[in-house]
Amino acid sequence: MDFSIWFLIGAALVFFMQCGFAMVEAGFTRAKNSGNIIMKNLMDFCLGTVAFFLIGYNLLLGEDKAGILGWGLHPITDFANTDWSGFVFNLVFCATTATIVSGAAAERTRFIAYCIYSVVISAVIYPIEAHWIWGGGWLSQLGFVDFAGSCAIHMVGGVSGLIAAIVLGPRIGKYDENGKSRPILGHNIVIGALGVFVLWFGWYGFNGAAATDITQLAQIFATTTVAPAVATCTTMIFTWIKNGKPDVSMSLNGALAGLVGITAGCSNVDCVGAFFIGLVAGILVVVVVLLLENVLKIDDPVGAVAVHGACGIWGTFAVGLFDYNDGLFYGGGLHQLGIQCIGILAVLLWTVVTVGLLFFILHKTIGVRASLQEEIEGLDATEHGLESAYPDFQAVNYKY
């Protein structure tokens, strides 16, 4: 059976995840910033496409140079001989990485700074580390396993989000004068839930697109269902016990945590493995949200760092435990686990250095944070001239 058409359908499903991210981020933040969140999500894909087309594609999939990066392709000039399937497929994964940051950076980021960040991550930062993992680079040569991107995409996105959140600082009013965190409620949990379901749906493409036969695809669909379901149950039970009531927005994050966790090993673990990967992800996401919010005082409005960063690392590591051929719990010893750790550390270091440098430069030059007044009034009005994304809910005078 020729799976090349499924490859492109999978790519379209991954594109649709942009809708999921937009809805989650809009739902978990305040209405006065909804237009801005939509713009960030819309533009990180569109600017990313241009950047990937001009440079990123070449760095990712070009002929391998010393295991570090690729080069030598001609998508601009040689339409007939370019692998457009590979271009679109890798572009939508690149765009997923970029869009993770907009959640962690929500409600206080200068739009121009975000646009520049989107271009740089899609042009250079993502393609190089993805080349190491999938483009023939040194990590793939080492036997590193990341089937769909727990490390390449989610860890990178989550850690980039963490750096952004640290450089930006918390939203005004997030912490009181004693440093105690104040809840800032998402304005539309229903839209947030829509986003989670759309992401889960798209994830069947995210994890499954690279499958080459139907048995493998079916197994990927199975693990991609079991892990998030178990993670969500775990998060629900954990918050129920911890807070006295099952938390809706945390449970929604739990589903995503499970999906991120299973992404690296979706084709290499069985459903028992998926069960435990989901279980740990469901607890880890809550622990990291609380760690960031209450202990480290880092404001992450949607839990992106916990979902993508922490669970991305967990998912990549878990392959070393649960891979049914080489995993520690399946008789494979520590070898695969060691390779997974090398990959995690290498990509982590690359991300911290490049993204840290990028945000530092932006911070020192054009500035990344909106002003106090802009943030209080709302970015829709101040960054986009949009008085409200919901004008009919307030007094608008129409003359008849």
Partner 1 sequence: MKKLEIIIKPEKLEDLKALLDENQVNGLNIVNIMGYGNQKGIVQKYRGAEYRVDLLPKVKVETVVSNSVAEILIDKIVNEINTGNFGDGKIFVMEVQDAVRIRTGEHGKEAL
In angstroms, give the least distance from the CB of 326 to partner 1. 38
Q: Please, which residue, 182 or 399, has the CB nearer to partner 1?
A: 182
In angstroms, give the least distance from the CB of 164 to partner 1. 20
> Across-strand partners of 71?
63
Q: Kindly state whether residue 242 participates in binding partner 1, applying the rule CB under 8 A.
A: yes
Please work out the total of residues on this chain that contact partner 1, with binding judged by CB under 8 A: 16
Say how far apart CA 70 and CA 261 lie, in whole Å. Answer: 28
Whether 390 and 34 have beta carbons less than 8 Å apart is answered as yes
Q: Please, which residue, 250 or 355, has the CB nearer to partner 1?
A: 250
Q: Please, which residue, 42 or 287, has the CB nearer to partner 1?
A: 287
Q: Of 159, 170, 158, 197, which is closest to residue 16 (Cα–Cα)?
A: 197
In angstroms, give the least distance from the CB of 185 to partner 1. 6
Residues constituting the chain: 400
In angstroms, give the least distance from the CB of 293 to partner 1. 7
* Radius of gyration (C-alpha) of the chain in whole angstroms: 21
Binding-site string for partner 1 from residue 195 to residue 224, where x marks contact by CB under 8 A and - marks none:
------------------------------
Say how far apart CA 182 and CA 153 lie, in whole Å. Answer: 31
In angstroms, give the least distance from the CB of 284 to partner 1. 15
Whether 366 and 113 have beta carbons less than 8 Å apart is answered as yes
Q: Please, which residue, 207 or 253, has the CB nearer to partner 1?
A: 253
Strand ranges, E, within the chain? 63-65, 69-71
Neighbours of 77 (CB within 10 A): 8
The interface with partner 1 within residues 243-302 (CB under 8 A) comprises 243-245, 247, 249-250, 289-290, 293-294
In angstroms, give the least distance from the CB of 148 to partner 1. 28
Kindly indicate which of the ranges 38-46, 113-121, 235-243, 261-269 contains the residues binding partner 1, using the contact rule CB under 8 A: 235-243
Q: Please, which residue, 70 or 303, has the CB nearer to partner 1?
A: 303
Backbone angles phi, psi at 328, to 5 degrees: -55, -40
Sign of the Cα torsion 206, 155, 105, 95 reads: negative
| DSSP calls for 277-307 | HHHHHHHHHHHHHHIIIIIS----TT-HIII
User: What is the distance, to the nearest Å, from the Cα of residue 195 to the centroid of all Cα atoms in its chain?
Assistant: 13
Q: Please, which residue, 127 or 254, has the CB nearer to partner 1?
A: 254
The interface with partner 1 within residues 167-196 (CB under 8 A) comprises 181-183, 185
In angstroms, give the least distance from the CB of 297 to partner 1. 13
The footprint of partner 1 (CB under 8 A) covers 181-183, 185, 239, 242-245, 247, 249-250, 289-290, 293-294
